[in-house]
Amino acid sequence: MTGKIALVDSYGSFLSVKDGRLQLRVRDCGELKVLWDAAPVELDSIVFTIDGASLSTSAIQTAAQFGLDIVFLKGNKPVARLLPATYGSTMKNWLHQLRTYRRREAAVDLARRFITGKIHNQRMILLEYSYLSKRSGAQGPYFWQEIENLKESTSTVEHAASVEEILNVEAHTARLYWTSVSKILPGKLGFTQRIPRSRIPTSGDIDPFNIALNIGYSTLLKECWRAVFLAGLNPYVGFLHRPRPGRMSLVLDLMEEFRAPCVDRPLIAQARRDPDLIMKLNRDDNRDSVKQIWRTVSNHMAKSEADLRNLIQAQARLLTKHLRGTDNYKPFRSRW
């Protein structure tokens, strides 16, 4: 287990309930071995990361009773989650969400807010490492010009007239940001530019830090998905990311402003502190390294000075109020 997230990551393991407690067991040398045991109130989520595991109906019912997330991953990507039967009671929120989606200017306005928040938080990462270099008396790297360029990009986004314009600015800003990040990381990692999961070459060749980022963003996606669900919103109707079958567009929207503070910051620090751990992600037997990256991001979100998981949920609730016309959505802006 890690924080309030319980991982089911052992082949042949079985999740059940014993004496009111959730218990994960696996058969070892003919005997049942308890891998972990927890009271439902101790947990937020149960995450299945492998195919060869199972759970009992009593475990499902207990999770539903206590509001626990049960999420299934495949290749570190969330593929399913169990929902309680009461989920359909959020229809009024969905109607407000659809009305906003159909009002072009209102939808573009929300897209602007998501991306201005994202760019601000990327700037905070570059500011942090520029000042670290300055305080230590090092020769660099410094990113004063890039920081100014990102600030100008924020202004451009604020005046963009369409989602397409916003995405073009965001793509340009991302190249500036990731080129700067490459100068912060140890050279042995071979990171030069961000390669999202959708653009991984067919050969599968990708540097280990990009692998770490993809794992980290999957962890963040799970948290944002949960927040959208708890806020009573439809995960498939977004404003920045175009809705399409099977794409959780609103979850991706909410993720944008949290990518840098929740994933980039802890993984950059991890890569500088222990680059060998990141390097192990390129091995065939990288299971332990994948788990460590998952823990790094999950623990950072749970144990940061301001619990980032609570902030994600607060932003989702604020978005619901914005869509209902009772509040004004302001993107999350981190401090360095």
Q: Are residues 309 and 282 in the same domain?
A: yes
* 103-117 tens-digit pLDDT: 999 999 999 999 999
Which pLDDT score, from 0 to 100, does residue 89 have? 54
pLDDT band at 270 (very low <50, low <70, confident <90, very high): very high
CATH number of the domain encompassing residue 16: 3.100.10.20
Q: Identify the CA nearest to 166 among candidates 151, 176, 179, 156.
A: 156
User: What letter does residue 242 receive in the DSSP assignment?
Assistant: P
Q: Are residues 118 and 15 in the same domain?
A: no
Least confident of 64-68, 159-163, 190-194, 311-315: 64-68
**Structural contact between residues 114 and 319, judged by C-beta atoms closer than 8 angstroms:** no
Q: Are residues 317 and 278 in the same domain?
A: yes
Q: Are residues 109 and 72 in the same domain?
A: no
Which pLDDT score, from 0 to 100, does residue 67 have? 80
Prior bond to 141 cis, omega within 30? yes
φ/ψ region of 198 (left if φ > 0, alpha if ψ in -120 to 50, else beta) reads: alpha
Q: Please state the domain count of the chain.
A: 2
Give residue 14's domain range: 5-82
Question: Strand 5-8 and strand 54-55: pairing?
Answer: unpaired
Average pLDDT of 76-105?
Answer: 84
Average pLDDT of 203-219?
Answer: 93
Greater pLDDT, 210 or 133: 210
Q: Are residues 138 and 222 in the same domain?
A: yes
Q: Are residues 99 and 67 in the same domain?
A: no
Which pLDDT score, from 0 to 100, does residue 322 have? 98
* 16-73 tens-digit pLDDT: 999 999 999 998 887 889 999 999 998 878 989 888 899 999 999 999 888 888 989 8
Q: Are residues 312 and 207 in the same domain?
A: yes
Is 333 inside any structural domain?
A: no
Give the pTM: 0.83
* 280-334 tens-digit pLDDT: 998 877 888 998 999 999 999 988 877 899 999 999 999 999 999 999 999 999 9
Q: Identify the CA nearest to 171 among candidates 224, 118, 216, 100.
A: 118
Is 329 inside any structural domain?
A: no
CATH number of the domain encompassing residue 286: 1.20.120.920
Which pLDDT score, from 0 to 100, does residue 86 have? 66
Q: Which long-range contacts (CB under 8 A, 24 or more apart) does 59-67 make?
A: 59/15, 59/16, 59/17, 59/22, 62/17, 62/20, 62/22, 63/22, 65/40, 66/40, 66/41
Residue reference for tokens 């989650």: 81
Q: Which long-range contacts (CB under 8 A, 24 or more apart) does 170-176 make?
A: 170/115, 170/118, 170/119, 173/119, 173/122, 173/149, 176/146, 176/149, 176/150
Residue 3: pLDDT above 50?
no
**Distance between CA atoms of residues 111 and 182, nearest Å:** 27
Which of 82, 104, 124 represents a domain boundary (last residue)?
82
